[in-house]
Structure 1
């Protein structure tokens, strides 16, 4: 059973969120400030953290940075204030897997949490081309390859040459979708629906994730070759030349 750490300085928010998550079959831990969040994180090793940006003692971004310094693949959903775009973009820029704005639907948050937990991969440090002791390579249908970039969908791993790439859940899903549909132009709205299953939301989410993905898979993110911007439409996977 997965454990979710809920971090918010409002006890009512924590209580309501915890009740919904528990009803969804998840274990829940709570923290009301930044320092308590780090203690709960160290003691409980949660599978996912729901983290408010505005916290006493230690703000949410610093809490996020310290948690990710310990566990680089920790899934984090950030809670941001009343639709402030700067807060939403900042949360995604630093690497959060998702965000949701207050006030929010508790059911929507639970669905977002469940979606991320279903996609969480077990980390590995063995390249797919390693020797006899390595797990068998994925079949052609399970592998996506573009030059020195390789996605092993069976093992949920991404490699650039011999270097494993640390992608968030959202970045991984976006990369797989784009690589699996080369030459197809996707609108931001379509990517939100087709990749993450969102019927509504802020299209800036896609823009930020594409920017972060380019920083990891492009030789020169300022002149992308793999993820091309289709002006007035969205994005297309063209592959490395």
Structure 2
């Protein structure tokens, strides 16, 4: 695996490089936001994951995430920051980060989060998917209004493609749409989608749900409903 680490703290980046290399992962380091964007744009297919500091010189992590997401909606991004406010976390997740880790953190815990994230994000590069015949392939999920293909990462609402869904947003939608009308608690979604104990940081689910709803509601689709005091459910039967 090849990681792009965006971190202006050289001592921290050196330490994390050692841990990553022990895992057999290759690492490139960018020490400011401008370098990170330029490095990624040179070859977007070079990297499997990005760790991104929020406080960076030249361009901050929010701007970097926006520019990277404009190029790729699929590259996993883990945001690392000394800020721990709910607003900063929601902002980071809102611009496309898949996870959020507060400093100081344990290197082994970060590695565990990376492994959990990558287990659930399968980016397929299969040229056969570009063939017209693939448009008629069966979908994994077909509900009243939606069709979802896991292998093609494709979401259709009444035949229209829902664009720019991030990997975590897709996983949330796929998980809930498999069991329409079933209520999922936030902790349950964290376990099913993130794959590890999030230590009570359930607001990350709310942030991802909010962004996913915004993309679906462009089609007039209020298909993810809040069950107050419990969590969320998928239901498009009444749309």
Q: TM-score, normalised by structure 2?
A: 0.86
Aligned match of 1:233 in 221, 230, 234? 230
Q: CA deviation at 1:44?
A: 4.8
For the aligned residue pairs, the C-alpha RMSD in angstroms reads 2.5
Aligned to 2:165: 167
Inter-partner Cα distance in structure 1 for 2:136 and 2:24: 34
Aligned to 2:19: 20
The unaligned stretches of length 5 or more in structure 2 are none
Inter-partner Cα distance in structure 1 for 2:43 and 2:21: 16
| Aligned residue-pair number | 232
Pair 1:70-2:67 in alignment:
no
Aligned pairs for 1:75-154 (under 5 A) are: 75-118=76-119, 119-122=121-124, 131-132=132-133, 134=134, 137-138=137-138, 143-154=140-151
The unaligned stretches of length 5 or more in structure 1 are none
Residues 73-122 of structure 1 show CA distances to partners (whole Å, capped at 9, x for unaligned) of: 32211112242222111101112111111111212222222233331323
The answer to whether the 8 A contact 1:33-1:55 is kept is yes
Q: TM-score, normalised by structure 1?
A: 0.85
SS at match of 2:29: strand
Inter-partner Cα distance in structure 2 for 1:198 and 1:30: 27
